[in-house]
Amino acid sequence: MDAILLQILNGLDKGGAYALIALGLTLVFGTLGVVNFAHGALFMLGAFCAVTFNKLLNLESVVIDPSQTTAWGTPLEVRTPYIEALLGDFGAYLHDYSVPFSILLAIPVMLIIGIVMERGLIRHFYKRPHADQILVTFGLAIVIQEIIKHFFGANPIPQPAPMAFGGTAYVGEIFGMGQTLAYPWWRIIYFLFSLGVIGAVFAFLQFTTYGMVVRAGMRDRETVGLLGIDIERRFTVVFGLASVVAGVAGVMYTPILPPDYHMGMEFLVLSFVVVVVGGMGSLGGAVAAGFLLGILQSFASMNEVKAIIPGIDQIIIYLVAVVILLTLPRGLMGRKGVMED
């Protein structure tokens, strides 16, 4: 029982990341009709927003203090981060919470990147065949990831979670099972965070007038256009929104997985599978399939399962995708008439 619960928990945070990326992919696909292979790169850019923010906070002044010496007898170098010198305790606090605070940096940055991407490149590809869209965004993804590699190097850069959430949570106690079920706090936070973001996106689409127009545009953009609404502009904003969602998903994922330049590609391939399993163009399907595949993947990596079918943990997601695509042509919750061929 414990083992099963633990695997479900394990799947939830990974599933959260899949769901967030898949949600953005589906939004872009549903509104603009564009298959965006560069979406994983946006996730990675978000993660590197956190890295940059942390680096900024870590800029320090080095003062040589002649009155103290190190163990080797050389004068001691006292390093104080500027931020602590400037803001005192609040600075230290900010430093500790650098990952969550970098969301504040990531949101405007990702919004701008998303809108520039859409206006500058993607908009020329609405009418082009899907193969062309795949190719151009694939090229763009390579460009983004190589630029990041140039500036940040090829090695993963670990990011610390805030001290308060660095430890483990005894989840078992909540269910009255004693201390047997321990789980890192930050992963639980990530799961709750992803739920929050997903909820916010759905609320935005469901309960605001803006979101209503966007949904109407997803159904029939021509009619919405005929009603005198500049639907293109709204779709641009939606692209920005999708890129923000991918970005913050990346920011919060950094303490779980140290970001490197190709993390986006790995997540992208899986997220595409998630989108296809959920059903092209279905937001709910993307979220459900994200969590489902995350949990399935963590079950497949249990030793008991691996003993029966070796290597299943490596291929389970792809296997599920193949089976679903062959049995349910529209995915789990695909809408009728969207990319049915």
Partner 1 sequence: MFKGLSRNDWIMLAGFTAFVLLMPIILQPIGAAYPALMQKFCIFGIFAIGFNILFGLTGYLSFGHAAFLGVGSYAAVWSFKLFTMNIIPAIFMSVFFAAIFAVVIGYVSLRRSGIYFSILTLAFAQMCYNLAYSVLTPLTNGETGLQLTLRDPRWIDAMFHEPGAGLPRATLFGLETSGGGLGGFYLCAVALIICFYISMRIFRSPFGMMLRAIKSNQNRMRYTGFDTRPYLLAAFVISGVYAGLAGSLMVATDPLAGAERMQWTASGEVVLMTILGGVGTLIGPVVGAAVIKYFENIFSSFGPDTLHGVFSFLPDTIENALVSFLSLFVGEGWNLTLGVIFVLLVVFMPGGIIEGLRRLWVIFTRRRGGGDAVPAAPHPQPAE
How many C-beta neighbours within 10 Å does residue 206 have? Answer: 10
Q: How far is the CB of 142 from partner 1 (least distance, A)?
A: 3
Contact yes or no for 102/53 (Cβ under 8 A):
yes
Kindly report the three-state secondary structure assignment for every residue of 48-78. HHHHHHHHHHCCEEEEEEEEEECCCCCEEEE
User: What residues contact residue 34 under an 8 Å CB cut-off, 6+ apart?
Assistant: 28, 122, 125, 126, 133, 137
Determine the Cα–Cα distance for residues 162 and 142; give it in Å rounded to an integer: 32
Which residue of 143, 203, 227, 328 would you call a contact of partner 1, by CB under 8 A?
143
Tokens coding 154: 């090829």
Interface residue with partner 1, options 63, 80, 86, 150 (CB under 8 A): 150
Residues 33, 74: contact at Cβ < 8 Å?
Answer: no
| Interface with partner 1 (CB under 8 A), residue from 111, 121, 256, 302 | 121
Q: Would you say 27 or 280 has its CB closer to partner 1? A: 280
Residue 341 binds partner 1 (CB under 8 A): yes
Residue among 275, 313, 274, 314 at smallest CA distance from 293 = 274
Does 45 bind partner 1 (CB under 8 A)? Our answer is no
Which stretch, 145-153, 168-176, 184-192, 245-253, contacts partner 1 (CB under 8 A)? 145-153
- Report the SS3 class of residue 79: strand
List beta partners, residue 60: 81
| Closer by beta carbon to partner 1, 141 or else 214 | 141
Give residue 228's Cα distance to chain centre: 35
> Which CB sits closer to partner 1, 49 or 276?
276
Single out the segment in contact with partner 1 by CB under 8 A; choices: 127-135, 213-221, 225-233, 297-305.
127-135
- Asked if 292 interacts with partner 1 (CB under 8 A), we say no
Cα–Cα distance, 43 to 263 (Å, whole number)? 8
Sign of the four-CA dihedral 323, 327, 329, 331: negative
Binders in 299-318 for partner 1, by CB under 8 A: 310-311, 314-315, 318
116 sits near partner 1 (criterion: CB under 8 A): no
Range in contact with partner 1 (rule: CB under 8 A) among 79-87, 102-110, 247-255, 320-328: 320-328
Find the binder of partner 1 among 5, 142, 237, 338 (CB under 8 A): 142
Shortest gap between Cβ of 209 and partner 1 (angstroms)? 32
Task: Based on the shown chain and the rule CB under 8 A, indicate whether residue 263 belongs to the binding site for partner 1.
Answer: no
Q: Which residues bind to partner 1, rule: CB under 8 A?
A: 35, 121, 124, 129-132, 134-136, 138-143, 146-147, 149-150, 265, 269, 272-273, 276, 280, 310-311, 314-315, 318-319, 321-322, 325-326, 329, 339, 341
